[in-house]
Copies of this chain bind each other. A is one copy, B any other.
Amino acid sequence: MVKMADKKQQITEVKIKAASVASTKDRILDAALELFARKGFDAVSMREIAEEVGIQKSSLYSHFKSKDEILDGIMEFPATELTLVGPKEELDTLIDNLGLEGFMMMSNGVFRDWMKSQKMEKVWRVLCIEMYHNEKIQAFFSNFIDGAISFWTLVFSKMAAKGMIKPLDPAVLANEYFGQYIYLFIEYFLIKYDNTPGSFKRMAEKSIEGHMIFFVEALKK
């Protein structure tokens, strides 16, 4: 009888926990993300993360085998987000329906949606900070850039084939268009980083608007 009561009690607790409080694993990830974004991976110790969570350092190892594994956990976030975002329709249909200006505006909207959460800002800060000395992050960036350049090269070659833009080298156009985003990321996340909510959004909107106007104007026939 006592056993039964205990079990019921446990189940109720588990349910409440799941509904209202993050799991310890998630709390560790959140604390680590906050600290890594502020100080960088190397400058944050396992002791600091544990303190932020409110547990002992050794308890971290019940959830993650190593410090690197915590970083891996953080990196899963943008990877899964990346697949959710992005237009679902066929590319040719989109280009035909939206035209040059409409397509560029739509892409900018996708980018803004993708970056809008504060968590995403922090993840990008960590990615930018650590891109030089963590192999997985370096690979992530390399794929990210290569993928984006391929995508935009394809878009501009389609547009050129359809006679929608001036007959310019699609690969050069991809670099011109996408490079400004990298420039924006570096300036914000590495040089003028400031932890206040929404500050990336504000800076990005001003900067990207001018870029889009110039770029569309340069491609128009």
A→B interface (CB under 8 Å): 39-40, 42-43, 128-129, 131-133, 138, 141-142, 145, 168-169, 171-173, 175-176, 179-180, 182-184, 186-187, 190-193, 207, 210-211, 213-215, 217-218
- Docked-complex contact A214 and B176, CB < 8 angstroms: yes
A interface, over-half SS: helix
Residues of B within 8 A of A39 (CB): 133
A211 vs B131: C-alpha distance when bound (angstroms): 25
Copies of this protein chain in the complex: 2
Chain B CB within 10 Å — which of A42, A142, A186 has the most? A186
Which of these, B171, B176, B192, contacts A142 with CB under 8 Å? B192
Pull 6 A–B residue pairs with CB atoms less than 8 Å apart, ordered by A. A42-B42, A43-B133, A131-B191, A142-B191, A145-B191, A182-B183
